[in-house]
Each structure stands twice: as C-alpha cells, then as structure tokens.
Amino acid sequence: MRLLLALGNPGAKYRDTRHNIGWWLADRLALRWGGGPFRADADGLTAWTTAAARPGVEIHKPRTYMNLSGEALAALRDRRRFDPAADMLVLVDDVALPAGRFRLRARGSPGGHNGLASISASLGSDDYGRLRLGVGRPPDERIDLAAWVLSRMPRAEEERSLGAFPRAAEAVEYWLEHGVEAAMNRFNR
C-alpha cells in the first residue's frame, strides 16, 4: 500500500484556507487518477485509486485537526500495513515557500509545523516523505502565523498555487514509481 496523507483541517470554515492546500492537491490527484469521490471512514476521508498505473494508492484526508494529524496516522497504521519511510508521502502547507512553489523532502524536522510535529511524534521519527506546498509568509511579521495559515489566499496567490498542481502531481507520480530521493532530484529546484 502507498499512502498520500493530506494534512488540513475539517469543516467548511477551514476548507479554503492556506492550511488546507494539502487537501486541495489530494482532491485533484483523486480526480486525475479516477480515485474519487472521497468516502468517510473511521479515520477520515479516503479515496483509493484503481487505475492500472497507480493501483493500491490511498489518498487520505484526516478528519482530525491539523495539530492532531499523528492520531489519525496512528489509527491508519493500526489497520493497514505500510512503511512510512518508503510508502507514505505527506502533502502539507509550507510558509517558507512562496505560493506556487513546492519542494519534496525525504525526512527532516517539522520546522515549526504542528501537523508534521504530530506525525513525527506518532511515528517516533522524522523519516517520512513530504511534499511541502508553498503558501508564503505574512507580508508583515506582526501578523500571527496561525491566523495567516488559517486565512484565505488572495486570488492571485491561489491561482499561482493551483497553477503548480499539475507539476506537483507529476512529482507525486514520480515518487510512486521511483521513490522520494529520485523525485527530489528531478523536481526540486
């Protein structure tokens, strides 16, 4: 089994916020691969892909809040067999990258991201792949970072972010075929 774990917050209030950009990409991947619609299960919202090129890929959007993403992952691991270091890619927002940019990482610290910190704590390791999707930093350092990621992007930023999704999807597809290190070498600029 391969797992794409898309981080975000549940509910209409958060649907269109920067913090949910991982869910946005998950929706597009499910559509691209014929894996939708997402269905509610005990752990969240799941779409399984059955396309011949990508059999057995689970796209999962936890219904926990971002800061509790590790709890959702623990529940998944109780029911499914997979190696997080080899078989899981986390789709997550990143304020260190501008909107419209993404970067693959094979491992590393959560970098202040509470969702990644929760996953690392659940696994007892930082050794798992992640696709960091840029949402940019606040234009003024006095703006609270939590408020920033829980706000909507202006239209121009959102269009840049969505414009990067086809290439991000290619990066995910390359990861599925060749692993995270090869995908990093090909797609990180």
Q: Is 19 a catalytic residue?
A: yes
The tokens for 25 are 């990409």
Task: Please pick, among 19, 60, 113, 178, the residue that the annotation labels catalytic.
Answer: 19
> In angstroms, rounded to a whole number, what is the distance separating the alpha carbons of residues 171 and 133?
12
Dihedral of CA 168/182/126/58: which sign?
positive
Q: Which DSSP string do the residues of 53-90 spell out, in sequence order?
A: TSTTEEEEEESS-GGGHHHHHHHHHHHS---HHHHEEE
Please list the active-site residues. 19
